[in-house]
Amino acid sequence: MLLFLSPRTRTRFLRLSQSTTTTLTFRYAHTARRSPSPASLLASSISKYKPAKMAATTATPDLPILPPEDSHLTAKFGRETANYFSGSPLNRLSFLRTDHAFLAPAFKHPSASFLLLDSLAPLVKKDDTTQLAFVSLGEIRDGLRGEDIFEKTEEELVREFNSEDEERIVVFLGMDERGVLGGHGGQQGGERFRYKDFEGAPYFAVDVSRWEGKEGLSEKLENERGAMFYGGGPRHMGLVAGQAAMYGYARALVDWNARTPFCAQCGQRTLSVNAGTKRVCPPTDRGVERKACATRGTVSNHSFPRTDPTVIMAIVSADGSKVLLGRQRRWPKYWYSTLAGFQEPGESIEEAVRREVWEESGVQVGRVVLHSSQPWPFPASLMIGAVGQALPGEGEKIYLGHDAELESAKWFPMDEVKEALAKGTHNMGDEVPKEYVEGALRLPPQTAIANRLINSVVEGWWVASKM
């Protein structure tokens, strides 16, 4: 399978002047409990802005950029690559999702902020749709039917389960410990929520897709808050770095909850617990015992959110002078990307890379090295980026007869690819950049890991450094 699920985006509104790059602080803090997690630190310290590398006329958003550091790992393997949809400013505090004493007050705290999704389209600022807009609990209380979602413990919710209740999907996204997001008031500051050793502003995602009175809510948010649901559809690809990661997480969880109303073991309705990150099969419905279900006795087959690993790889020729790219028939003319495919059970990542490349293009790959990864929440992929090198001679021969997926696969000289990276990158649904010359190679934009992989190989990432 060849993947680059680019949406029909509406990123042309992006102004280059708004294009900012999150500079991330890279610190390790495993031991001090008061310290935010490494992931949170990695992502949360927005200190200054600098323009991301991009073609001059594209409206491609920024990427998270990791500051330089001098670890032994970097000395040996080079700098880490942070891809779009990674780098969330929130500390997920996943171990608190089951802690009722945390969730109940966090949900009601004045600093709690809510990201609304309507059919997976996020609420954004109307005058700058690269920014998410957050609301307060008071603004959505009607939609939540006045219910205090986390008032009851999970035991109580399971005991009182009624399969006819229309579920309200609320997901705990994490805590903004550094105050980088501004919250529902659009301002930093204000009272911080404290629990044990943690403090900051709690963030939640709320699915409003099936709410009665949704239109009234939208109108109110537009008039009073200058916010609207993103009009470009359920795949916003133009958010600033960090917020894109928050949206990706919220989208994946809201979508999974909505798609998973039934138990995979027994087929009966399930209930969302663990702050939106697990679904259980309650033993009773309105007090009446339900069919037996194995999930109640063992941990097997509970419903947890899916993550579907996908391998995506830039393959260089045996002599290192060319890159293997492929295209599907439905793609825009001259538009190529890296090969990709689903990781299958019972194979290593390296084997999946070799298998997919051979199945789709006939090319035989030798050594494979992992490069970086990218959450791709459409709906639940994790793109595992790799670089591989073809075997010489017959190994480089292209043959499309195994699998009908590709219309074409070709070896492109590095110079041609370099030119395309500079002048011909764009999202599938978007217009080509002004500098693009008709007939030349086109490639995905930097928000796609395919672009990052291609960029790495043309820059010689895979070549041994001279000691």
> What is the C-alpha to C-alpha distance for residues 38 and 421, in angstroms, rounded to an integer?
32
> What is the C-alpha to C-alpha distance for residues 112 and 272, in angstroms, rounded to an integer?
20
Beta strands in 136-216 (DSSP E): 170-176, 193-195, 198-207
Supply 146's token pair: 């006045």
Instruction: Tell me how far, at minimum, the Cβ of 157 lies from Zn ion, in Å.
Output: 16
Helix (H) or strand (E) holding 26: none
Alpha-helix runs per DSSP H in 233-348: 243-259
Which of 101, 292 has the CB closer to Zn ion?
292
Which of 270, 372 has the CB closer to Zn ion?
270
Instruction: Tell me how far, at minimum, the Cβ of 207 lies from Zn ion, in Å.
Output: 23
Instruction: Tell me how far, at minimum, the Cβ of 184 lies from Zn ion, in Å.
Output: 37
Burial profile 173-207: b = 16 or more Cβ within 10 angstroms, e = fewer:
bbbbbbbbbbbbeeeeeeebbebeebebbbbbbbb
Helix (H) or strand (E) holding 349: helix 349-361
Is residue 262 a contact partner of residue 291, using CB atoms and an 8 Å limit? no
Instruction: Tell me how far, at minimum, the Cβ of 290 lies from Zn ion, in Å.
Output: 8
Write down the residue that tokens 């133009």 correspond to.
Answer: 238
Best CA proximity match to 275, nearest among 305, 308, 319: 305
> What is the C-alpha to C-alpha distance for residues 317 and 388, in angstroms, rounded to an integer?
9
Instruction: Tell me how far, at minimum, the Cβ of 264 lies from Zn ion, in Å.
Output: 8
Supply 257's token pair: 């909850």
Which of 16, 292 has the CB closer to Zn ion?
292
Instruction: Tell me how far, at minimum, the Cβ of 280 lies from Zn ion, in Å.
Output: 8
Instruction: Tell me how far, at minimum, the Cβ of 158 lies from Zn ion, in Å.
Output: 12
Which of 98, 301 has the CB closer to Zn ion?
301
Best CA proximity match to 202, nearest among 98, 92, 113, 88: 113
> Running DSSP on this structure, what letter comes out for residue 95?
G
Instruction: Tell me how far, at minimum, the Cβ of 296 lies from Zn ion, in Å.
Output: 7
> What is the C-alpha to C-alpha distance for residues 247 and 173, in angstroms, rounded to an integer?
10
Helix (H) or strand (E) holding 161: none
Which of 271, 414 has the CB closer to Zn ion?
271
φ/ψ (deg, to 5) at 252: -60, -45
Best CA proximity match to 89, nearest among 171, 172, 181: 181
Supply 174's token pair: 């994490």
Instruction: Tell me how far, at minimum, the Cβ of 294 lies from Zn ion, in Å.
Output: 7
Instruction: Tell me how far, at minimum, the Cβ of 256 lies from Zn ion, in Å.
Output: 17
Which of 262, 358 has the CB closer to Zn ion?
262
Which of 22, 265 has the CB closer to Zn ion?
265
Write down the residue that tokens 């997920």 correspond to.
Answer: 92
Instruction: Tell me how far, at minimum, the Cβ of 159 lies from Zn ion, in Å.
Output: 16
Sign of CA dihedral 335, 338, 339, 341: negative
Write down the residue that tokens 């690809």 correspond to.
Answer: 237
What residues line the site for Zn ion (CB under 5 A)? 263, 265-266, 281, 293, 295
Which of 270, 381 has the CB closer to Zn ion?
270
Antiparallel, parallel or unpaired: β 113-118 and 198-207: parallel
Which of 29, 264 has the CB closer to Zn ion?
264
Which of 78, 267 has the CB closer to Zn ion?
267
Which of 129, 303 has the CB closer to Zn ion?
303
Which of 281, 340 has the CB closer to Zn ion?
281
Is residue 112 a contact partner of residue 104, using CB atoms and an 8 Å limit? no
Q: Residues, the chain, total?
A: 467
Instruction: Tell me how far, at minimum, the Cβ of 292 lies from Zn ion, in Å.
Output: 9
φ/ψ (deg, to 5) at 262: -120, 155
Is residue 458 a contact partner of residue 20, using CB atoms and an 8 Å limit? no
